[in-house]
Amino acid sequence: MNRIILDSNFLFIPSQFRIDILAELEDLLGKSEPIVLSSTVQELEKLSKGKSEKTRRQVLLALKIAERCTIIAVEKDYTETTDDVILRKAKEWACPVATNDRGLRRRLREASLPVIYLRKRKRLELEGYV
């Protein structure tokens, strides 16, 4: 079964664009295991304490979606960003990453890792090979 690492901004897609990302991932890749790293959950929990009510609602939905995924505990060095941890684990497992973050997508492409992202605000697209 394919593993797919989901990053935090990918988890916001359902609240922003009304797309069921887990169903779309299954349509795109077949049966797979969506993974959320513990560092991503921590990042979302920090965001949930934000000022904006809209952001808090989006974060709570993102955390609910994360609960439906496999959450894997990872070590995060104080010098690493959440994106660094995602990149490190994606290389280690040779698995695709689902993200809309341009900087992270570029870094994944440079590492020859497949990327799944939202295209034209309505469908997921795979860049690279799984």
| pLDDT tens-digit map of 4-46 | 999 999 999 999 999 999 999 999 999 999 999 999 999 999 9
Identify the pLDDT of residue 51. 78
Yes or no: is domain 2-127 CATH 3.40.50.1010?
Answer: yes
Identify the pLDDT of residue 130. 75
CA dihedral 46, 71, 89, 87 (to 10 degrees): -40
Burial class (CB in 10 A: 0-12, 13-18, 19+), 44: buried
pLDDT band at 58 (very low <50, low <70, confident <90, very high): very high
Identify the pLDDT of residue 35. 97
Mean pLDDT of 113-122: 94
Mean pLDDT of the chain: 94
Q: Is 2 helix (H, G, I), strand (E, B) or coil?
A: strand
Domain assignments of the chain as residue spans, ordered by start = 2-127
Tell me which residue of 98, 8, 20 sits closest to 55, measured CA to CA. Answer: 8
Six-digit token string for 93: 């497992």
Identify the pLDDT of residue 114. 96
pLDDT band at 52 (very low <50, low <70, confident <90, very high): confident
Six-digit token string for 96: 């695709």
Residue 49 pLDDT more than 90?
no
Contact 65, 21 (CB under 8 A): yes
